[in-house]
Amino acid sequence: DHARLLTPRGEREAETMARWLASRVEQGELTLPMLYASPYVRAQQTAQRISDALGVPLNTLSFITPEDPPSDVSEWLLTHRDDAPIMLVSHMPLVGDLAGLLVEGAPSQGVGFPTAAIAELEADVWAAGCAQLKRFTQPSQLS
| pLDDT reported for residue 97 | 95
Residue 143, pLDDT above cutoff 80: no
Range of the domain at 28: 8-142
Residue 20 CB neighbour total at 10 angstroms: 17
Nearest CA to 119 out of 131, 134, 98 is that of 134
Residue 116, pLDDT above cutoff 90: yes
pTM of the model: 0.95
| pLDDT reported for residue 81 | 79
Alpha-carbon gap, residue 16 to 20, rounded angstroms: 6
Report pLDDT digits (tens) over 25-56: 999 999 999 999 999 999 999 999 999 999 99
Alpha-carbon gap, residue 142 to 63, rounded angstroms: 30
Question: Mean pLDDT score of the chain, rounded to an integer?
Answer: 95
For residue 45, the domain's CATH number is 3.40.50.1240
Please indicate, yes or no, if residue 3 is contained in any of the structural domains. Answer: no
The Cα angle at residue 9 between residues 46 and 41, in degrees rounded to 5? 35
Total domain count for the chain?
Answer: 1
